[in-house]
Structure formats: C-alpha cells, structure tokens
Amino acid sequence: MTIKKKVQFIALGVLLCIVAIAGVFVLRNLSVQVAEARLDKISSVVRGAANLYAISDRFISNPSTETSAQWQDEYQKITETLDSPSFEAYKDKEQFLQLRRHNNTIGALFIQMKNATGDTHLRARFSEQILHHTNEFVQDSAALASIIFTETEVIRRQTTVGFFISLEILFAIVVSFVVLMVRNVTNPLMKLTDVVLRMGKGDFSLRAPSRTKDEIGSLGAAFNEMEDKLQKRTKDLEEAKANDEKLLEDLNSRVAQLEDARKAMTNLFQDFEDERAQLMEAKAKDEALLENLGEGVMAVDKDKRIILVNRVAENLLGIQRENVLGKKYYEVFGNQDVEGKIVEEPNRPITKVLESGKKISTPVGPFAPYYYIRSDGTRFPVAITVTPVILGGETVGVIDIFRDVTREKEIEKLRIDFLALASHQLRTPLSGTKWLIETIRRGVTGEVSKKQQEYLEQIYQTNERMIALVYDMLDVLKIESGETAVKKKNFSPHELYNDLEVLTEPVIKKRGVIMRNVLPADSKISAFTDFDILKGILEEYISNAAEYTPDGKEIVFDAQEKDGSIVFSVKDNGIGVPKDEHDKIFQRFYRASNAKEFRPDGTGLGLYRASLLAEKINARLWIESDTGKGATFFASIPQTTN
C-alpha cells in the first residue's frame, strides 16, 4: 500500500477521531446542557416549591387574594416547569411521577382550600395538607434534583472520559502516523540522503531502499537507477577527464613546440628581413645596372611572354614596358634575316633557345644575320645573345641581350669597301709593274743585257714580295673583319688533300720539294667543318713547309683520329722552329729567327692568318719542332657529326 493510501487512511482516521471527538464533545455538551437545564429546572422547581410552601404558609395565616394570586403564579410556574421538555426523559421516572402527583395534589388542595372559605377548620386542614404535600414536594424535588445532579455529573464525567479516550485515540493515530512517516518516509529518505551523500563522495555502493511497494520504493528504485547511471556517467566522465587531461598535456607540449617554432620563425623572419633588405639593395643595383647597360635586355618566360625589358630595349624597339609585359614576344617586335625576309616565330632565336636550352649568339662583328623591327615598322641590324635560364634542369625562360649594330655595320661596310678598294688600288699598280717588268724581260721592248736581266729579276722579285704582302695583309684584314662565314660540311681527308695538292702545286714546284700523304686508302675518317677554311690553314702549313725546306726534301701530310678530334699534320724536314719561339710564330708579322736568316722576304703573316682561320672553325694549332730538325705543324678539329 502506498504511503499516500496510508496517509489517506490516517487522515481519515484523524478526521473520524476529530469528528468523534467533536461529536463526543458536542454530545457531552448537549448532555451536560440538557442535564444542566434539567438541573436548572429542578432547582427552580425546588425553589418554587419552597416558595410555594412559604406562600402557602402565609396564606394560611393571612388568606388574601394577593397571596392567592402569588400562590397561583408560583404554582403555575412550577407546573410549567414540570411540563417542560427538559423532564421528558424522566416522565416515566418514579420520582418525577411522584413529584407530579404531589404537584397535582397540591394544586387540587389549593383549589379546595380556596373553595372552603367559610370553613376555617376545613381550611386549616387543607392548609396542613398543602403544607405537608408541599413539604413532601420540596423534599422530593430536592431528591430528584440531587439525582439529576448526580446524573449530570456522571454524564459529565463520562463524556469527559469519552472525550479523553477519543483524544487518546487521536493521539495514538497521530503517533502511528508519525511512526508511519518515520518508518516509511523519513527513514528511507534519510537512507536516501545517506546514499546521496555517499554518491556525492563518489561512493556508489550504497543502495537506496527500493523494496517497498510504495512511492518511496519507486523513488528508491528510481534513485538506484539514477545512481547506476550516475556511476556510469561518473566513470565515463572520469575517463573523459583522463583523456582530456592527456589531450591537454599534448596540447601543452604542442603549444610549447609551437612557441619554439614561433621563436625560430621570428628569428628566421628577422634574418629574412635582413636578407630582403640586402636583396632589395642588390636588386636596386641590378636594376640600375640593367637600365644603364648599353644593350637592350629582354627576358621571356617559357610561355614566350615578355617578363622584363630594360630602357635600352624600350628605346631600340620603340616600345613601352607597361604595354608589352605579359605579351607574347613575337607579337611585340618582328625579326628579319639579312635578305629582309621575315623570320617566322618558330625559327626565331628566342623560341629556338626556349626549346633547345642552348645559347644562341650571332657572330661578333657586323655580320648581323638578323634585323629587329621596331614598332614603327623600321628595322635595324642587331647582334644578339639569347641565353636560356635554367632552373632545376628545366628551361624556364630566356634572356635576349641585343645591340643595335647599325653603326658597326656601317663602319664595317666602310672597312670592307675600303679593303676592296685598297686591295684593288694597291694591286693594280703592282700588277702593272709586274707585267711591265715581265714585258721588258721578255724582250718585247727590245734586247736586254745580262746585267739588265739580273737587275730586272731583282725588281721583279721585290715586286712579287710587295704583291704577296698586299695580298696577305688584305687577306688577314678580311678575316679579322669577320666577313668570312663558316660553312660546314662533311668531307674526307683525301678530298682535302687532293685540293691542297692542286692549290700548293706552284709553291711546291718552285721550292723543289716533294709532297705526299700517308692517309690509309680506306680511311673512314669524316671531318665536319668548313672545308675552305681548313684548307686555308693547311695550305699555309704546306707553303710554310715548302718555303723553309731545302730542295728535294719531303713534306708529309697526315690525318688521324685521336681523343674525339681529327688531327691533321704537315711534317717537313726543313729548318725547324726554335722551341722558345713555338708560340710566337703564330703572331702577326712574327718571323722565327732562323726563318729570317733562311729567307729574308717572308711576310710573317702566314701562320697568323692560319690562326685567325682556326679560330673560326674552333681548330687548335700547335707545332712540334726543334731547330734544324724539321717541324710538324698540327691542326685539330673536334670530331662531330652533322
């Protein structure tokens, strides 16, 4: 049974008790009231009876109408009182009946007495009887009064007892209520409190009272459930807390690391700032340099877009930096070859370098193969060097450095024209004198004496030397001016030798030497270079050998493959070259000391010319020789294939 029901029961009990008590109380009061009313009435009867006696007594002594009226009044009162409902309960009681009898008798007697007015004796008897009965009446009434009084007391007592019993019952009920409360509510609640307190301390071992089938029981059960959940929750929380703590630890260490990193970064940053300042300075210097270079500089990225252009480039090409940055270079300025043909984009040096990653530069000197076209359509000759910018093995852009060589070209044209003119102007008189002398010697102008012939011979030779000198000088000047273009092709040493044989035949014959080659007939050597230039070098060698070798001796021509090069050699058995003059003989106008002795009329330009030619085809020249022991002149070219 639930507490609620129990309480309800108790409440009901209490209510009933209270009602009982009230009832009892009311009952008591009523009873008491009734009893007291009765008592009151009987008292008044007693008093009235007493009065009546007194009055009767007076009447007897003095029978007046007044007194009779008083006696009748009093008697009326008593009768009425006896008739009152208060005595309803006693109406069958003996004492009361007796009282009534007395009352009636008295009344009757009085009437008789009254009626017996003349008879004093009768009156006196009636008076005696009235007194007697009144006295009896008084005594009876008093007795009744005392009975009633006792009854009243009893009732009073009883009801009080009843009242107190009720009270006791009530008390008991209350006590039992308290007990109930203590047992079923307070105790469990205290236990619950205990459990809660323990729970608060983390002890989930205590169980709440849950066995009773009432609200407390449900509460207890619910509490236990909660306890279990809480325990679990607490455990989870503790786990989580442990995790969190670990996490926090991690975080802290991370933060410490980050802090270190931050410090490092700050230092690094400071270093960077310093570097940056330096770089800015360097950059400013570079920019100043770039701007003030005498040459145009243009940088192009791998998408062929212009990323840098300096002031000179701007001026030369008639463009503005702001307008061209980011544009494809071939849309900004054009390129023409020497013949004035437009060079299409795929063939332009910038594109070619981007693709090949190899530098392209036009030859030094006025031999400009390209013209750049300005924004206004005019063109100017350029000497360009296009260099790839390689980053991590990849070509990420190119730098084109170019120079307007109009002036150089003009100067060179002047030079060439001068050369051409000079050569013609010098050769003409020289060839004139040559033929004049020859004509005389031939006798066309008349007979010539022996002595005259000797002199003429001298003059002729001198003239020849002059011609040779003019030729050599002009030739050297020509080579120096870079006019000779290099035309590479494949050829065998045999081909070369055959040409050389023809070319050097005059000087060989003149000097009376013999030339042969020692090339194997099936030689597979294939040279790839400028045929004419190499021929020129070897021709110099051969004529040198011929000039400085005594009659009848041999000149041997050879060509060998060695270490990735092809080495041509011309060996003679002539006067040789002193060891300390090996380097010098290639210098302009230098003649070896023993050469000057042997042949005073050399120009000193032959080997110099050979060295200029060698430069053009990247050939290396050297000599092996000793004084009086002949000489071998070498020329090696790199062995490359087409």
Partner 1 sequence: MKRILVLVVEDEQFLTRVLKDNLEAEGFMVDLAANGDEAIDHLHKNRPDLILLDILMPKRDGFFVLGEVRKNPEWKGLPVIVLSNLGGDTEIKKALEMGADNYFVKSQHPIEEVVQEVRNYLVGENKKEAKIGEVSS
Check: CB of residue 137 under 8 Å from CB of residue 106: yes
Q: Which of 431, 458 has the CB closer to partner 1?
A: 431
CA 239-245-246 angle, 5° bins: 95
As measured in angstroms, the least distance from the Cβ of 422 to partner 1 is 11
CB 290: neighbour CB atoms within 10 A?
A: 18
Q: Which is nearer to partner 1, 423 or 481 (CB)?
A: 423
436 binds partner 1 (CB under 8 A): yes
Please tell me the distance from the alpha carbon of residue 555 to that of residue 560, in angstroms, as a whole number: 17
Q: Of residues 435, 455, 589, 622, which one binds partner 1 by CB under 8 A?
A: 435
Q: What is the largest CA-CA distance in the chain?
A: 259
**Chosen residue from 361, 428, 461, 618 binding partner 1 by CB under 8 A:** 428
Residue 431 binds to partner 1 (criterion: CB under 8 A): yes
Q: How far is the CB of 425 from partner 1 (least distance, A)?
A: 9
Q: Which residues pair with 308 in a beta bridge?
A: 299
Q: Interface with partner 1 by CB under 8 A: which range of 310-318, 327-335, 440-448, 545-553? A: 440-448
Q: Is 439 in the site for partner 1 (CB under 8 A)?
A: yes
Distance CA 135, CA 109 (A): 14
Contact string (CB under 8 A) for partner 1, positions 388-427, x = contact = --------------------------------x--xx--x
Residue nearer to partner 1 on the CB measure, 357 or 432: 432
- Residues in the interface with partner 1 (CB under 8 A) total 19
Task: State the sign of the Cα–Cα–Cα–Cα dihedral 395, 398, 399, 403.
Answer: positive
Nearest one of 489, 591, 608 to 540, comparing CA atoms: 608
Residue 430 is a binding residue for partner 1 (CB under 8 A): yes
Of these, 149, 471, 590, 598, which contacts partner 1 (CB under 8 A)? 471
461 touches partner 1 by CB under 8 A:
no
Helix (H, G, I), strand (E, B) or coil at 398: strand
- Nearest to partner 1 of 391, 444 (CB atom): 444
Nearest-angstrom CA–CA distance, 231 and 228: 5
For residue 417, the minimal CB distance to partner 1 (Å) is 12
- Give the single-character DSSP code of 183: I
442 binds partner 1 (CB under 8 A): yes
Of the residues 77, 434, 488, 553, which one makes contact with partner 1 according to CB under 8 A? 434
At closest approach, how far in Å is the CB of 507 from partner 1?
Answer: 13
Residue 436 or 448: the one with the smaller Cβ distance to partner 1 is 436
Handedness of CA 302, 303, 307, 313 (dihedral sign): positive
User: Is residue 380 within 8 Å of 402, Cβ to Cβ?
Assistant: no
SS3 state of residue 626: coil
Please select the residue that binds partner 1; options are 444, 447, 521, 551, rule is CB under 8 A. Answer: 444
Stretch that binds partner 1, among 350-358, 395-403, 434-442, 578-586 (CB under 8 A): 434-442
**Structure tokens, 90:** 């006693």
Q: Does 432 bind partner 1 (CB under 8 A)?
A: yes
| Angle at CA of residue 394, ends 388 and 396, nearest 5° | 55
Phi-psi region of 202 (alpha: psi -120 to 50; beta: other; left: phi over 0): left
State the residues that interact with partner 1 by CB under 8 A: 420, 423-424, 427-428, 430-432, 434-436, 438-439, 442, 444-445, 467, 470-471
